[in-house]
Structure formats: structure tokens, C-alpha cells
Structure 1
């Protein structure tokens, strides 16, 4: 990710429209903002997973992810499993390690990709 110059700004996440993304089970609700030039935009999201959420795909996109609330289980393609609790983060590069997310309790995440 290259962060081209863009103006300083603030985001009130409660004012950003939420979009619904069904998982294999449960639902993800994304509040999404884009920053920078169209060819190299940075996507910043506040994401809430409902209890029982399981992603409907194995993700190859790189992220920096911070767990704001709840608990998130991330499984890597090689079978390793990582648990994030509030205050923890992970980072992974594009096409580095496929991963799939799930939560039994629900989770609120701040994601940059």
C-alpha cells in the first residue's frame, strides 16, 4: 500500500452508511471510506460481524486489522488459527496467506487495505 498525498480529514463512523454483506453464516456490516487517488485508493472500514459469522470466501487481500470489540478467529490456508480479542491486531500482505474469518460472539473491526 502506498499512501499518496491526500488532505487531512476526520471520519465520524456513525454517519457513514452501512452496507450488508452476508457470510456463509451470519452477516458483516461495513462502513467504508476511500482515500487517495482512484488508481491507488486506500479502503478504510469499520466492520461489524454478527454472532455466528463465517466468511463465505478465503481472502487473498492484504489488510491491517484492529479488533475494537468482541473476538475474531482467523484461519490461514495452512490450518493455523489465530484469535484476536479487543485491542489486538493482525497484518498480512496481498497474496501472502489466504485467510478466512469467523466469530461466535460477534466482533467490531477497524480495517485498512
Structure 2
């Protein structure tokens, strides 16, 4: 791809296909737009979802619906409710998502979140 810019576009998320990703328990459904160095997803976690790994990637996460607990490997945790976000750069936490009743998130990640020295 020669053009690395992202042209203006509207996105009807209802028309973006879903891919299924099993967790330790529950299922995540991803609707993904991939650009060079940038990934934008709407992710829906089912009820009783527990991620099957500790993630160290950076993210910008915005909660659209429901509630998610963000567990960190160091024992800390936080809860996102609709209208709340978290932001972290790559390699600054080991985190995973856990839901009781399910959640729908907008997640943005990419090269701009790489750890700066």
C-alpha cells in the first residue's frame, strides 16, 4: 500500500464482520479496521468472559455498554463503565479483561503506543 494516510470515511459498524476469539471462559467478538500502524476495533465480550492471556500491548479503551474489570498481573484492578476509558502504552502493564454480564468496547491501538525511551 503506497498511501499511508487514512482518508475521511464513515464506518457503519453493523457492516463490519465479526471474528470470534475464545477466552479462558466466554467469547470475544471483534469487529476490526486495520490501517498501517493502527487498529480500531469494537469488541464485545460475552457474559462471564475471562481473557486467556495477560496482555502487554498498549491500548486506548472506551466503554460503550456494560462493565468490564481490568485486572493487572500486579494485583491491581479497575472497572470501566459506559463513558469511561483507560489508556496505557506498550509494556507498561500486564492486564486482562473480565466481565460478569458482558461489555462492548471501542479499542484503539497501534504503533503510536510503543514505549518511548
Above 0.5 in TM-score? yes
Q: Comparing both structures, which one devotes a greater share of its residues to strand?
A: 1
Match of 2:29 in 1: 29
- Equivalent runs, 1:56-71 vs 2, <5 Å: 56-71=52-67
Residues 4-56 of structure 1, C-alpha deviations (whole Å, 9 max, x = no match): 63211111100000000000000000000012x3xxx2000000000000000
How far 1:77 moved relative to its partner?
A: 1.6
Distance in 2 between the 1:77 and 1:22 partners? Answer: 20
Distance in 1 between the 2:98 and 2:16 partners? Answer: 24
**Structure 1: any 5+ residue segments left out of the alignment?**
none
2:75 maps to which of 79, 82, 87: 79
Distance in 1 between the 2:16 and 2:94 partners? Answer: 29
- What's the Cα RMSD here? 0.9
> If the length of structure 2 is used for normalisation, what is the TM-score?
0.87
**Structure 2: any 5+ residue segments left out of the alignment?**
110-117
- Equivalent runs, 1:1-113 vs 2, <5 Å: 5-35=5-35, 37=36, 41-113=37-109
Distance in 2 between the 1:86 and 1:15 partners? Answer: 23
Distance in 2 between the 1:17 and 1:34 partners? Answer: 13
Distance in 2 between the 1:71 and 1:47 partners? Answer: 13
- Name the SS for the 2:67 alignment partner: strand
> If the length of structure 1 is used for normalisation, what is the TM-score?
0.90
